[in-house]
Structure 1
Amino acid sequence: MMDKVGFPQDVTDAAWQLILGGIAEQGQLNDEALAMFTERQEQRDHRASNSWYQELVRLVGDYLEIDRPTMALWSGGIDTSVYARSKGHTPLESTPFGGVVNELQLTMDWMLKTPMWNVLSKAFVTRARGPVHIFLRAYNPDSVLIAQEVPQLRVVMALNPAVELIWHPVYTTADGKLMEVTEDLDLASDATYRTRDLCVRALYDYLRLKHDRANSRSERANAEMGARLASNGNQP
């Protein structure tokens, strides 16, 4: 697979040694993160300090470049990544290296490979050179997208004014089609917002006012929204 997307053989060999080494070391880092830290972001940072994964990024960094004009980030399930790609944008999973890793079941334990994706995603967003389209099917302030990727993007934006964030609230209809929520709370093929808060408001309002509880494809997003609003003191 790596040969097909243009990796030299020596890079392929080295990359897989680093991935295997990283998986072997990750369990200890995960245990340390829980024992040493109480804040979730501190735990996440410690898990992502895996030296094998850090070296992997230095090795394959050039293969995280996007092959389309605009970068895409997402939250709310892998279908959202596929949707972003269908709109002409490039998520991490569609880069040469991200695509290969995404296709393989490296381990059944997500806790051993998630830190690798976190390291790769941070390296990915530093390569933004223009507009970055962000697709939200569910909003979680503790997600990698909101807690790690967007803050890293804001650092990039401070150095490069060409980088801007374009937000898309996404809703899955009962037939499985992904649509975007307009300001009037209609579903359309495209609806963009210049700020996170306006995007999240549109998504929350649509789920709160128009979501059909019989639509199981969006019920998880609706339940998460309701729980988050309730935890903030809002009525069900």
Structure 2
Amino acid sequence: MREQRRATEAQAATQGAAGRGGVPLTGMAALQRRAGNAAATHWVQRQAGALNEHYATRPTEHPEWATYQELTKAAGIPQADADAAWQLLLGGVDSQGALNDEAAAKTSDRQEQREIRATNTWYQEFVKLMTQHLEIKTPTMALWAGGIEVNDYAYEQGHTPLARTRIGSVLNVLEMHPDWKLTGPMWSILSKAFVSLATGPVHIFVRAYSPDSILIRLEVPELQRVQRLNPNVKLIWHPLYTGPDGRTREISKDCQLVDNAEYDKRDTCVGALIQYLRLFHDESNEKAAPAHKSMEQLLAANGHKDGV
């Protein structure tokens, strides 16, 4: 009963803040309906810790609130959905720390820790609410790895990555919280939901390869699951290299930089990328330095020394 009273008081505070800002927010009651009473109670309990710079009880005071309003309006997201999503996001940020602590206490297995961190009910409900705003604007979906420039390259090639969807374009320019450990799980949940919407060919652009990337450990396995249910979903891989002039091109099977190079297998794509980085990477090319470093680390992890 005491927790319920505290939840009611938090609801009144949230609605009051919204009224002063002139924007009708959904309040704790709506969050309880969307995220469940248990999650709402857990959120209230987190407030007792007086965590700094958490805005779940004062949503309109978040530094990005005005920007969020402008972006969601420009993206065509209805205000009611946007307001509900904002409070779910803030509730997710506020509750993620406890889940991170729980994951660290329960297991040392990294994948098991990720799974626990991804049980954030606030983020899950946020993604359910925003799924309709994950529609792609082009005939084909894009996934990528190797830096945000690859996201832009994929879009320029005529494909839609997550960050170019309505809600993705909003989140991509916001900073909900400076600690990635509190916001990263939201992106993982959102990425999985995005991939699950694939209905046709998906183009995958790889400038740097890491087995531990979201692309490889989360998005591609989910895409393969979708592919088993829908044979129209095909994975088309593109290895990329960025020259010192900043121009990104694709790597052909004979190690040439071309405008388009498609592979039907991950391993052949990655093989072409590694081969090019080993043979042709210029050490003075800072644009490709992160990709070259990833390649060296991958080879070392697989028992190769000095590029052999």
TM-score normalised by structure 2 residue count: 0.75
Question: Quick one: distance in 1 between partners of 2:301 and 2:81?
Answer: 48
How much has 1:153 moved relative to structure 2? 0.6
Aligned to 1:170: 240
Partner of 2:205: helix, strand, or coil? strand
Question: Quick one: distance in 2 between partners of 1:179 and 1:82?
Answer: 13
2:228 equivalent to 1:158: yes
Partner of 1:67: helix, strand, or coil? coil
2:257 equivalent to 1:187: yes
2:201 equivalent to 1:131: yes
Deviates more, 1:158-167 or 1:2-11: 2-11
Residues 8-87 of structure 1: pairs in structure 2 closer than 5 A: 8-87=78-157
Question: Quick one: distance in 1 between partners of 2:267 and 2:183?
Answer: 31
Question: Quick one: distance in 2 between partners of 1:125 and 1:87?
Answer: 19
Question: Quick one: distance in 2 between partners of 1:176 and 1:45?
Answer: 37
How much has 1:235 moved relative to structure 2? 2.4
How much has 1:38 moved relative to structure 2? 1.7
Aligned to 2:298: 228
Counterpart pick for 1:198 among 248, 268, 277? 268
Partner of 1:22: helix, strand, or coil? helix
Question: Quick one: distance in 2 between partners of 1:134 and 1:78?
Answer: 14
Partner of 1:3: helix, strand, or coil? helix
Report how many aligned residue pairs link the two structures.
Answer: 236
Mark the runs of 5 or more structure 1 residues left unpaired by the alignment.
none
Question: Quick one: distance in 1 between partners of 2:172 and 2:301?
Answer: 34
How much has 1:2 moved relative to structure 2? 0.8
Deviations 1:79-121 (A, max 9, x none): 1101100101000000000101111111111111111000000
How much has 1:29 moved relative to structure 2? 1.1
Deviations 1:193-226 (A, max 9, x none): 0000000000000001111111111112111211
Question: Quick one: distance in 2 between partners of 1:3 and 1:103?
Answer: 14
2:215 equivalent to 1:141: no
Question: Quick one: distance in 1 between partners of 2:187 and 2:162?
Answer: 9
Deviations 1:174-205 (A, max 9, x none): 11111111101011111110000000000000
Mark the runs of 5 or more structure 2 residues left unpaired by the alignment.
1-70
Question: Quick one: distance in 1 between partners of 2:97 and 2:172?
Answer: 21
Partner of 1:166: helix, strand, or coil? strand
> Greater relative contact order (Cα 8 A, min sep 6): structure 1 or 2?
1
Question: Quick one: distance in 2 between partners of 1:29 and 1:189?
Answer: 44
Question: Quick one: distance in 2 between partners of 1:200 and 1:70?
Answer: 22
Question: Quick one: distance in 1 between partners of 2:241 and 2:292?
Answer: 10
Aligned to 1:100: 170
Question: Quick one: distance in 1 between partners of 2:297 and 2:79?
Answer: 49
2:80 equivalent to 1:7: no
Partner of 2:73: helix, strand, or coil? coil
How much has 1:57 moved relative to structure 2? 1.0
Question: Quick one: distance in 2 between partners of 1:140 and 1:228?
Answer: 7
Which one-letter code corresponds to 1:50 in the other structure?
A: N
Question: Quick one: distance in 2 between partners of 1:133 and 1:38?
Answer: 34
Q: Percent identity?
A: 54
Which one-letter code corresponds to 1:171 in the other structure?
A: Y
The runs of at least 4 consecutive aligned structure 1 residues that moved more than 6 Å come to none
Question: Quick one: distance in 2 between partners of 1:4 and 1:221?
Answer: 35
TM-score normalised by structure 1 residue count: 0.98
